[in-house]
Amino acid sequence: MVTNEKIIETNDVHLYYGKNEALKGITLDFNPNEITALIGPSGCGKSTYLRTLNRMNDLIQDVTITGQVKYKGKDIYSPKMDTVELRKKIGMVFQQPNPFPFSVFDNVAYGLRISGMKDKQKIQHIVEESLKKAAVWDDVKDKLHDSALALSGGQQQRVCIARVIAIEPEIILLDEPTSALDPVSSGKIENMLLELKENYTMIMVTHNMQQASRISDNTAFFLQGHLIEHGKTRQIFTNPTQQETEDYISGRFG
């Protein structure tokens, strides 16, 4: 893969919930195999923006989207786009760990089975590999057939990440994946994401400035539906060009 080729490009994206404009013209690109952090105060549109990238906003009634979102050069909002295939390539991890009320194994195997994989051994192998990559194998290897809901929040979230990894997406969208977890669990997930970076492009919403500065390559700062500033994380955190960015970051650092 050519490194300077963008994997996702968004161009002047506006999104309206009914008449309420939640995104006011976002133009932002993402490089492959990098982690981009989306930061900004609550309600500024980070989750909304993230959900435009895998068309999850389609599920909400009365949403209007204008502008362009391209995945590998293809407009994902064109009528020809197959959203089912798209979402297999662009996985998503939610804020609240949301494993299915099934066993750990069935959770991770879910994506494989709905894609029509029948080979039991292959499924077994991929489930194990995915759980290992998500750094939760040691926690669950003895309880693969117990309900995933019996796990701790941090373990559940890592199982959810394994569930996404199993279908081998190219991009993983993460919406505040650690905000519901304790610091130790969050730390484990951060380390795991850093390892995954080799093979995946990640876009992560986070409220936690330290987290953004620790693991992301790029940072984009949102405010009230506008993209205020974006660039290399180091530069955004040490030398922001916009006053709002500086206020937000320093306010958070206290």
Partner 1 sequence: MEETQSKFTQKSQKRKFEQFGRTISFICIAFIVLVVLSILYFVISKGLSTFTTDGVSVIDFLFGNTWRPGEVGENGAPLVGALPMILGSFYVTLLSAVLATPFAIAAAIYMIEISPKNGKKILQPVIELLVGIPSVVYGFIGLTVIVPFIRNIFGGTGFGILSATMVLFVMILPTVTSMAVDALNAVPRHYREASLAMGGTRWQTIYKVVLRAATPGLLTAVVFGMARAFGEALAVQMVIGNAALVPTDLITPASTLTSILTMSMGNTVMGTLENNVLWSLATILLVMALFFNILTRWIGKKGAMKK
Ligand X SMILES: Nc1ncnc2c1ncn2[C@@H]1O[C@H](COP(=O)(O)OP(=O)(O)O)[C@@H](O)[C@H]1O
Is 114 near partner 1 (CB under 8 A)? yes
Q: Are 76 and 8 in contact (CB under 8 A)?
A: no
Pairing relation of β-strands 218-223 and 201-205?
unpaired
* Minimum gap (Å) between residue 47 Cβ and ligand X: 3
- Written as one letter, the residue type at 139 is D
Q: Tokens representing 16?
A: 């309206």
> For ligand X, which residue of 7, 26, 45, 215 counts as binding (CB under 6 A)?
45
Strand partners, 230: 220
Is 48 near ligand X (CB under 6 A)? yes
> Cα–Cα distance between 151 and 157 in angstroms, integer?
9
Is 101 near partner 1 (CB under 8 A)? yes
> For partner 1, which residue of 102, 217, 224, 235 counts as binding (CB under 8 A)?
102
Is 10 near ligand X (CB under 6 A)? no
For the purposes of burial, counting CB atoms within 10 Å of the CB of 5, is it exposed (0-12), middle (13-18) or buried (19 or more)? exposed
Is 98 near partner 1 (CB under 8 A)? yes
Report what 241 binds from Mg ion, ligand X, partner 1, none; CB cut-off 5-8 Å by kind.
none
| Beta strand extents in the chain (DSSP E only) | 8-17, 20-30, 35-39, 63-71, 74-75, 90-93, 171-175, 201-205, 218-223, 226-232
Is 206 near ligand X (CB under 6 A)? no
* Minimum gap (Å) between residue 96 Cβ and ligand X: 13
- The 140-169 contact track toward partner 1, x by CB under 8 A, reads -------x-x----------x--xx--x--
- Written as one letter, the residue type at 229 is E
Is 87 near partner 1 (CB under 8 A)? yes
Q: Tokens representing 114?
A: 């709905």
* Minimum gap (Å) between residue 154 Cβ and Mg ion: 20
